[in-house]
Chain A
Amino acid sequence: MSEPQKPLPIKVGADAPPMPRVMLITGSRKGIGRFLVEHYLAQGYLVEGCSRGESDLSHANYHHHSVDVADERGVRTMIADINRRHRRIDIVLNNAAIASMNHVLLTPAASANRMFEVNVTGTMLVCREAAKVMMRKRWGRIVNFTTIVAPIALAGEAIYAASKSAVVTLTRILAFELGQWGITCNSFGATPIMTDMIRGVPQDKIDAVVNNLAIKRLGTPTDCSNVCDFFIHEQSDNITGQVIYLGGIT
């Protein structure tokens, strides 16, 4: 969408001022998550973020939770805290993930388990607890982040890609399970973006991926916010169970 999105005010009554939407962004301390926090703060959203570590972001409309999304109790406590302060959660952007580039023959089970814990179970836990709050308002938007390395079957990313494929399947089924309560669930997969997550990947590997894209460039944080803007838009209430990959990947 080319036009910057306006905040999505909630009309609470004829005489009451509209309330800004409450958004939770996981993995918000740095990288894409941090960019999205600043993007939506600039548009007037009340943004809640989480990561395992503390955030150095200070903003009147931002609240940070030091939570590992794979920690069930931690996620429940975080969602309960958000609900206690705002009485709602309208939008969730599940960005938190970990990756480890390794040939499958050299991948320890503990590394694989941890990737699935954070990327799949963590996403499920945040979706589950946030959806419980969204259900009562009969409105919600969930966007789960996946990756193009799943559909392109990138060698060296077997476990990471498998976990993100699971996220896509989770999202498609959540769309059907939560649709009756007005909650949409979509996912999108970005092309490589120069963040800490891929900074250790050899340049020739990144170049090889980019050269096989329809649009031969690295992704940008704005690519991500553009897709999120679309998925969370008020009028996107019939857009659910979809996955959008950037760069021409299907």
Chain B
Amino acid sequence: MIELSTAEAIVVASLREVFAQTDLSPPEVITGDTVLVGKDAVIDSLGVVSLIVEVEQRLETEHSISVVLANDKAMSQRNSPFRTVAVLTEHLLNTAREAKAQ
């Protein structure tokens, strides 16, 4: 099972990869509060798609854990599980735990 620090590292590295692959300007620092969705988001909607896929692929290739982050549960939540780096990290941890438990 991955630790919180590992999950956060995956999210941050994936976000940096999204900036590297697009014309989007990265913020000076990426923290848990960095907004990913909605007002003040540092990436656009396609950037969110790229980020989610990048996180899934890194989890798969680096830790052999296969998850779908945009699952039915996630997409039906009132508050997006992708809205900030910290929230996405938590969602990643929970989804990975559920995948391991199955």
Contact = CB atoms under 8 A, between A and B. Distances in A.
The judgment on whether A and B are partners is yes
Interface of A: 72, 76-77, 80, 83-84, 87, 132-133, 135-136, 180
Interface in B44-62: 46, 50, 53-54, 56-57, 60-61
Given A132-B53, A180-B46, 13 more contacts: A72-B68, A76-B66, A77-B66, A80-B60, A80-B66, A83-B57, A83-B60, A83-B61, A84-B60, A84-B61, A84-B64, A132-B57, A135-B50
A84 B61 CA distance: 7
B75 to A, nearest CB: 14
Majority secondary structure of chain B interface residues (helix, strand, loop or mixed): helix
Contacts of A180: 46
A133 B57 contact: yes
B46 A135 contact: no
A136 B68 CA distance: 17
Range of interface residues on B (Cβ < 8 Å): 10 to 19
Contacts of B50: 135
A132 B56 CA distance: 9
Nearest to B58: A136
Interface of B: 46, 50, 53-54, 56-57, 60-61, 64, 66, 68
A136 B56 CA distance: 12
A133 B66 CA distance: 13
Nearest to A128: B68
A136 B57 CA distance: 9
B88 to A, nearest CB: 17
A190 to B, nearest CB: 32
Contacts of B57: 83, 132-133, 136
A51 B5 CA distance: 40
B61 to A, nearest CB: 7
18 contacts: A72-B68, A76-B66, A76-B68, A80-B60, A80-B66, A83-B57, A83-B60, A83-B61, A84-B60, A87-B61, A132-B53, A132-B56, A132-B57, A133-B57, A135-B50, A135-B53, A136-B57, A180-B46
Contacts of B64: 84
Contacts of A83: 57, 60-61
Contacts of A80: 60, 66
Nearest to A180: B46
Contacts of B56: 132
Contacts of A84: 60-61, 64
A135 B56 CA distance: 12
A154 B46 CA distance: 39
B95 to A, nearest CB: 13
A76 B67 CA distance: 8
A38 to B, nearest CB: 30
A132 B53 CA distance: 6
Q: When A and B form their complex, which 6 residue pairs have the shortest distance between CB atoms, in order from nearest?
A: A80-B66, A132-B53, A76-B66, A80-B60, A135-B53, A136-B57
A87 B66 CA distance: 15
Nearest to A81: B66
B52 to A, nearest CB: 9
B9 to A, nearest CB: 18
